């Protein structure tokens, strides 16, 4: 990507009444002037007009034919989203019109923008740091109030300010250690009290630890809490998935082994996103493909936070005896909900007596009779799922880590500061302690972009952005 290019892209989703084309770069006004003909009391070129104003006029092609009547918004550097001269052309939402305008701009000297290139330019021009830029993509993808609040807080610099405060403390600590190294030939000189240094590193360690711990909550809110639906073939797993999603996502059949692979989809319950994973029915089989699907069922159980074990209520005793020894060991640190399906066919059953001995059950186990087909017990199941998620309320000022790249950098910084603590405790030489401090600073700087310089790394970060943003 070349910062001196002037780029353009459609910035709105197809199908709307209005479509917007963004243009940014040093020639944004000149190129737009070549295709835009103002209508009104002034015919001044865009470059001669005031910033933050609108111009009404027509877009004309090379044959002087009108493509559309439009409004043009003007933003002058450095006071724009990208920090460059920028134009936004508001057209009618016809995909034909939008493509015609983009092609005209390209023929006049623009280049089609790459994914996330407008936001990347905002980062390169100092309009936001890297963590704020990544929050833009999270804001666009937000699907609940919690994910929206997290993305807005990060985009407004809440996370950046927390990291900046950490880096200031680390720099103070590093400067004291480095100063002592400069006067290492005077062993009697000590610029920093070791007790104060230990207290400061303890404070820094606690903050970084809190941020890393928040990732489990942030990741669950952002990507959905994984819920594995497991059980024998024909127990009603796919019917349950379809009922929870309120659509026919999975094939339902009386034939055993219909589901041979993992089927996933998400649903929002009371503001919390759950990622339901329908797995292949667990049974002994010689079918190679089905065996692969069953192996994946156990993999998904290990990855899930909550496990729904669907048991055919008409064969409950048999299925419980056959699978409890295989399922229970994978649920020791998870929430297990045993669903006795087809309960409408056995209304007077005492389901508790069908369970193994209490000592054999994982601690966080709950049972619920349901009928996935008749949709009885489903509202109660949804309430149990929300309670089982046990997610804290996210307020507008809370710092929650949702980005895997940030989490990995924080984890490395946490290891570094803990080595610093050990070094101070064991009286390691200052040069070794200082090296760990510098490593900690480096990993924190990775998050905001202070230590990222290669186009390859930046390209990898922005490649999943949508075109036009």
Residues 390-436: tens digit of each pLDDT: 777 666 677 888 888 899 999 999 999 999 889 888 888 777 888 88
- What integer pLDDT is reported at residue 248 of this predicted model? 65
Task: Give the percent of the chain with pLDDT over 90.
Answer: 30
Give the CATH number of domain 7-129; options: 3.40.50.300, 3.30.1360.120, 3.20.20.70, 3.40.50.150: 3.30.1360.120
Two tokens, residue 151: 């993305």
106 vs 404, more confident: 106
Three-state DSSP class for residue 362: coil
Q: How far apart are CA 85 and CA 292, in angstroms?
A: 55
Two tokens, residue 197: 């240094």
For residue 364, pLDDT beyond 90: no
Least confident residue range of 1-5, 194-198, 209-213, 326-330: 1-5
Q: How far apart are CA 376 and CA 343, in angstroms?
A: 9
Closest by alpha carbon to 156, among 355, 384, 398? 398
What are the respective helix, strand and coil percentages of the chain, to the nearest 5? Answer: 50, 15, 35
- What integer pLDDT is reported at residue 265 of this predicted model? 84
* Burial annotation 371-384 (CB, 10 A radius, 16+ → b, else e): bbbeeebbeebeeb
Sign of the four-CA dihedral 399, 401, 403, 406:
positive
For residue 64, pLDDT beyond 80: yes
DSSP 254: S
* Burial annotation 110-145 (CB, 10 A radius, 16+ → b, else e): bbebbbbbbbbbbbbbebbbbbbbbbbbbbeebebe
Q: How far apart are CA 337 and CA 331, in angstroms?
A: 10
> Vertex 440, ends 435 and 446: CA angle to 5°?
125
- What integer pLDDT is reported at residue 378 of this predicted model? 92
Where exactly are the structural domains of the chain? Answer: 7-129, 136-218+399-449, 226-371
Phi, psi of 23 (to 5 degrees): -130, 130
- On whether the CB atoms of residues 414 and 391 are closer than 8 A, the answer is no
Sorted by sequence, the CB contacts under 8 Å of residue 139 that are 6+ apart come out as 148, 151, 152, 155
Average pLDDT on 228-251 reads 80
436 vs 29, 160, 424, 431, CA distance in Å?
50, 22, 11, 9
Closest by alpha carbon to 220, among 392, 105, 74? 392
- What integer pLDDT is reported at residue 284 of this predicted model? 58
CATH second-level architecture of 226-371? 3-Layer(aba) Sandwich (3.40)
Q: How far apart are CA 368 and CA 319, in angstroms?
A: 16
- What integer pLDDT is reported at residue 450 of this predicted model? 66
For residue 287, pLDDT beyond 70: no
For residue 325, pLDDT beyond 50: yes
Sign of the four-CA dihedral 114, 116, 117, 120:
negative
- What integer pLDDT is reported at residue 253 of this predicted model? 44
For residue 97, pLDDT beyond 90: yes
Give residue 184's pLDDT band: very low, low, confident or very high (50, 70, 90). Answer: low
Average pLDDT on 433-446 reads 86
For residue 186, pLDDT beyond 80: no
For residue 116, pLDDT beyond 50: yes
Rg value, the chain, Cα: 29
Q: How far apart are CA 379 and CA 420, in angstroms?
A: 52
Two tokens, residue 447: 């998050």
Phi, psi of 234 (to 5 degrees): 60, 25
What CATH class does 136-218+399-449 carry? mainly alpha
State the DSSP string of 65-98. -EEEEEEEEEE-TTSSSSSS-EEEEEEES-HHHH
Least confident residue range of 112-116, 138-142, 176-180, 241-245: 176-180
Reported as type and span, the H/E element at residue 275 is: strand 272-278
Closest by alpha carbon to 415, among 437, 446, 396? 437
Assessment of whether the complete model's pTM goes beyond 0.85: no
């Amino acid at each position: 990507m070349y910062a001196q290019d002037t780029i353009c892209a459609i910035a709105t989703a197809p199908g709307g009444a209005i479509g917007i084309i963004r243009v940014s770069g040093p020639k944004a006004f000149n190129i737009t002037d070549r295709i835009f003909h103002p209508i009104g009391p002034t015919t001044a070129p865009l470059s001669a007009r005031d910033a933050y104003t609108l111009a009404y006029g027509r877009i004309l092609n090379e044959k002087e034919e009108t493509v559309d009547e439009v409004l043009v918004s003007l933003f002058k550097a450095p006071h724009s989203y990208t920090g460059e001269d920028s134009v936004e052309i508001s057209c009618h939402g016809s995909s034909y019109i939008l493509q015609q305008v983009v092609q005209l701009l390209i023929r006049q000297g623009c280049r089609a923008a790459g994914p996330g290139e407008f936001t990347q330019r905002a980062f390169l021009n100092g309009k936001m740091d890297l963590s704020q830029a990544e929050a833009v993509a999270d804001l666009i993808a937000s699907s609940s109030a919690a994910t929206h609040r997290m993305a807005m807080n990060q985009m407004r610099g809440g996370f950046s300010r927390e990291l900046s405060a950490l880096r200031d403390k680390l720099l103070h600590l590093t400067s004291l250690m480095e100063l002592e190294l400069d006067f290492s030939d005077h062993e009697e000189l000590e610029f920093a009290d070791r007790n104060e240094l230990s207290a400061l590193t303890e404070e820094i360690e606690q903050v970084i630890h809190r941020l890393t711990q928040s990732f489990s909550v942030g990741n669950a809110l952002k990507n959905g809490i994984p819920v594995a639906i497991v059980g024998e073939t024909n127990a009603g797993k796919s019917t349950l998935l379809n009922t929870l999603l309120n659509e026919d996502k999975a094939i339902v059949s009386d034939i055993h082994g219909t589901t041979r692979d993992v089927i996933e989809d998400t649903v929002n319950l009371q503001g919390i996103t759950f990622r339901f994973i329908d797995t292949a029915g667990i049974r002994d089989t010689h079918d190679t493909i089905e065996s692969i699907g069953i192996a994946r069922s156990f993999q998904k159980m290990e990855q899930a936070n909550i496990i729904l074990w669907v048991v055919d209520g008409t064969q409950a005793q048999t299925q419980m005896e056959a699978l409890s020894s295989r399922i229970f060991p994978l649920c020791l640190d998870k929430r297990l909900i045993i669903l006795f399906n087809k309960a409408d066919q056995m209304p007077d059953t005492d389901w508790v007596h069908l369970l193994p001995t209490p000592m054999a059950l994982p601690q966080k186990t709950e049972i619920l009779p349901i009928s996935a087909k008749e949709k009885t017990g489903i509202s109660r199941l949804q309430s149990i799922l929300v309670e089982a998620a046990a997610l804290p309320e996210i307020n507008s000022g809370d710092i929650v880590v949702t980005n895997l790249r940030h989490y990995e950098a924080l984890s490395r910084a946490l290891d570094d500061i803990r080595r610093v603590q050990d070094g101070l405790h064991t009286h390691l030489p200052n040069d070794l302690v200082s090296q760990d401090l510098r490593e900690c600073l480096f990993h924190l700087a990775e998050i905001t972009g202070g230590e990222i310089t290669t186009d390859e790394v930046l390209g990898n970060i922005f490649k999943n952005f949508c075109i036009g943003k």
